C-alpha cells in the first residue's frame, strides 16, 4: 500500500484549491465576513443551501469528468465515495456546533461578533485539516495497519461519546484556559472585534482571542475523529481532502442556522456516537468483510436522520430553551465569570 490510488491530477488539485481561496476571499472582502454582523436565520439558511449545492455540484462535475476520462464504473465509485465522505464529515461536524454554542455562551460573545471569530476559526481549521490529512495519508500509505488503529480509535471515541453524551464539559477547568490565564494579560471585556488591545501601554489579549483559541482547539479534537472516519470510505487523497473542506466551509452557516435549536437535537449526539462506532467497526472488519460504499452511505444517513427525527419528536412537547437566546439576553453573569476566570494571576508580567 505504498501508493494510494487517486485519479486527481495537478489541474484538479489546483482548481479546487483556487475555488476555496476565491470563496474565502469573497467572504472576507466582498461579503463583509470580517465585519461585525448579526447573522439572521434566513441568511444562514441561504448560505447552508449554497454550500450544500456547491458540494453537490462538485460531486456531479467530478462524476462527469471521470466518466469521460476513466469510465462509468470509476466515475460512479469516486462520486459515491465523495458524497459518502461528505455526509460523514458533515454529520460529525454537527458535534462541533454543540461545542461552539457552549463556548459562545460561556464567554457571552455578542451575536454580531460570532461571525468573524468563526470565519477565522474556519481558516485555521482548513490549515489544520490539510496538515492532518497529509499526515494521515502518509501514515496509511506507509503502514497499512494504521487503518486498524484508526478503527479502534473511532470505536473507543464513539463508545465514550455514547456514555457521556449528557455530561457537559466544565470550561472553568479547561487546561488551555488555565494555561492562558497564567501566561497572558487578559482584558476584562470585549473591545469590538479586536483580538488584542493596549491598556495602560501594555498589550492584552481580549476575550475574543480566548474564544478563537477555544474554537481552534475544539476543531483539532474533532479532526482526530473525523479524518480517520473517512478512511473507512476511501483512501483517495483528493476525495478525503475535498469532502473535509466542503464540510468545514459549510460549518459556519450551519451553526448560525441551528444554534438556536441546539437543545432540540439532544439525541443527535447519540446518533453521531453510533456513526463513529459503525465506521470504526467497519474499518476493523475490513480483512474479513467488505461493506459497499453505497451501504455505508445509507447506514450513516439513516442513523443521522433517525436521531434527528427522534430528537424533534422528544422536544416537541417540551418548552424551547435556546442557548443562544441566553447569550443574547443576559448581561452576562457567564461573561463575567469567564473573563474573571481568564484573568492572569496577580504579579503576571
pLDDT at residue 293 greater than cutoff 80:
no
| Separation of alpha carbons 338 and 103, rounded Å | 10
What element of type H or E holds 196?
strand 196-199
Which residues fall within 8 angstroms of residue 234, CB to CB, at 6 or more apart? 81, 85, 240, 293
In this predicted structure, which of 59-73, 159-173, 218-232 has the lowest mean pLDDT? 159-173
Angle at 128 between CA 88 and CA 135, to 5 degrees: 80
Q: What is the pLDDT confidence band of residue 2, given thresholds at 50, 70 and 90? A: very low
Query: Which of 1-15, 60-74, 127-141, 288-302 ranks highest by mean pLDDT?
Result: 60-74
CA-angle at 153, arms to 147 and 159, nearest 5°: 140
Query: What's the CA gap between 108 and 269, in Å, rounded?
Result: 24
Q: Where are the domains positioned within the chain?
A: 10-341
Does the pLDDT at position 341 exceed 60?
no
Residue predicted with more confidence, 91 or 5 = 91
The residue-averaged pLDDT of 314-323 equals 57
Which pLDDT does position 169 carry in this prediction? 62
Q: How many CB atoms lie within 10 A of CB 293?
A: 20
Packing angle, helices 237-258 and 10-25, rounded to 10: 20
Task: Say what the pLDDT of residue 295 is.
Answer: 78
Amino acid at each position: 500500500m505504498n501508493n494510494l490510488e487517486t485519479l486527481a491530477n495537478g489541474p484538479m488539485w489546483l482548481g479546487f484549491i483556487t475555488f476555496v481561496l476565491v470563496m474565502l476571499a469573497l467572504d472576507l472582502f466582498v461579503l463583509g465576513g470580517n465585519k461585525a454582523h448579526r447573522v439572521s436565520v434566513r441568511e444562514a439558511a441561504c448560505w447552508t443551501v449554497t454550500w450544500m449545492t456547491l458540494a453537490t455540484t462538485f460531486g456531479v462535475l467530478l462524476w462527469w469528468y471521470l466518466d469521460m476520462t476513466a469510465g462509468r464504473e470509476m466515475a460512479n465509485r469516486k462520486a459515491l465515495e465523495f458524497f459518502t465522505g461528505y455526509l460523514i464529515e458533515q454529520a460529525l461536524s454537527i458535534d462541533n456546533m454543540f461545542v461552539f454554542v457552549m463556548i459562545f455562551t460561556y464567554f457571552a460573545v455578542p451575536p454580531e461578533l460570532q461571525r468573524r471569530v468563526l470565519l477565522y476559526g474556519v481558516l485555521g481549521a482548513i490549515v489544520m485539516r490539510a496538515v492532518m490529512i497529509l499526515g494521515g495519508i502518509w501514515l496509511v500509505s506507509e503502514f497499512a495497519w494504521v487503518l486498524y488503529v484508526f478503527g479502534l480509535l473511532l470505536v473507543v471515541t464513539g463508545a465514550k461519546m455514547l456514555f457521556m453524551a449528557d455530561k457537559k464539559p466544565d470550561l472553568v477547568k479547561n487546561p488551555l484556559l488555565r494555561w492562558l490565564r497564567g501566561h497572558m494579560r487578559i482584558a476584562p471585556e470585549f473591545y469590538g472585534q479586536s483580538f488584542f488591545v493596549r491598556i495602560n501601554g501594555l498589550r492584552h489579549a481580549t476575550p475574543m482571542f480566548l474564544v478563537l483559541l477555544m474554537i481552534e482547539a475544539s476543531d483539532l479534537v474533532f479532526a482526530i475523529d473525523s479524518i480517520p472516519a473517512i478512511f473507512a470510505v476511501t483512501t483517495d487523497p483528493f476525495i478525503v481532502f475535498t469532502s473535509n473542506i466542503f464540510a468545514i466551509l459549510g460549518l459556519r452557516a450551519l451553526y448560525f442556522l441551528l444554534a438556536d435549536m441546539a437543545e432540540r437535537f439532544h439525541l443527535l449526539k447519540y446518533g453521531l456516537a453510533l456513526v463513529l462506532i459503525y465506521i470504526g467497526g467497519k474499518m476493523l472488519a475490513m480483512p474479513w468483510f467488505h461493506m459497499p460504499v453505497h451501504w455505508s452511505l445509507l447506514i450513516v444517513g439513516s442513523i443521522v436522520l433517525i436521531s434527528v427525527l427522534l430528537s424533534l419528536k422528544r422536544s416537541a412537547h417540551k418548552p424551547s430553551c435556546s442557548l443562544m437566546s441566553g447569550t443574547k439576553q443576559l448581561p452576562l453573569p457567564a461573561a463575567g465569570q469567564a473573563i474573571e476566570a481568564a484573568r492572569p494571576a496577580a504579579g503576571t508580567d
